[in-house]
A and B are shown apart, each in its own frame.
Chain A
Amino acid sequence: NAGVIQTPRHKVTGKGQEATLWCEPISGHSAVFWYRQTIVQGLEFLTYFRNQAPIDDSGMPKERFSAQMPNQSHSTLKIQSTQPQDSAVYLCASTGLGVQNTLYFGAGTRLSVL
């Protein structure tokens, strides 16, 4: 079991550019979560999918951020027109909901917006 795989590990973008982050959940897991981690705000929930359907996107900034889960094997988080304040580590986690919500986290993508 390779665990949750996130690519790329590091991404550097210029202000105004688009960034797409990828997540491959653990095989067989039915839910995928996205979190953002910064020193100041800590771990902030962004959105999650269950069986590929969006369930809760209450943490997503209303503009510029979008997430999709087109199939069981991957999810993407897209940030349009990136801004310096988007710089953070973006963490993806997956869980099989039958095991009481234990989230297994990927190594994260460190996004740096210059």
Chain B
Amino acid sequence: GEQVEQRPPHLSVREGDSAFITCTYTDPNSYYFFWYKQEPGASLQLLMKVFSSTEINEGQGFTVLLNKKDKRLSLNLTAAHPGDSAAYFCAVSAGGSNAKLTFGKGTKLSVKS
């Protein structure tokens, strides 16, 4: 089945720096890609949903890159601030009749002011 490897498991950056998180997946049929944010004690909140047809997706303060050739999904938080401190999880789905998401193990991001 699908396997998702996420790196790094821990990341500490200074306020204003960028934070880069990468996931690699194994199933070439994967079609939907997600980034979730989990603050301490809270549940997962959707950050961005990406379709396989779009390589670069921009959100508020971050960019998601999808490289289907290398089967790599990346999240780049630009100009990180302390409010970005949280755990970030990537997730992958083949969609269609198989709707379950396979998650990476997460990256715990700490942004120091």
Binding site for B on A (CB under 8 A): 31, 33, 35, 41-43, 45, 48, 50, 55-56, 58, 91, 95, 97, 100-108
Contact = CB atoms under 8 A, between A and B. Distances in A.
Contacts of B103: 35, 42-43
16 contacts: A31-B99, A33-B101, A41-B105, A42-B104, A43-B89, A45-B100, A95-B99, A97-B99, A100-B49, A100-B51, A100-B95, A101-B93, A102-B46, A103-B34, A103-B101, A107-B42
A101 B43 contact: no
A48 B42 CA distance: 22
B49 A102 contact: yes
B53 to A, nearest CB: 12
B44 interface: yes
Contacts of A95: 99
Nearest to A4: B43
Interface string B41-58: 011111001010000000
- Classify the interface of chain A: helix, strand, loop or mixed: strand
Contact of A91 (B32, B44, B45, B106): B44
A55 to B, nearest CB: 8
Contacts of A91: 43-44
Among the interface residues B1, B44, B49, B102, which one has the most CB atoms of the partner chain A within 10 A? B44
Nearest to A42: B105
A101 B99 contact: yes
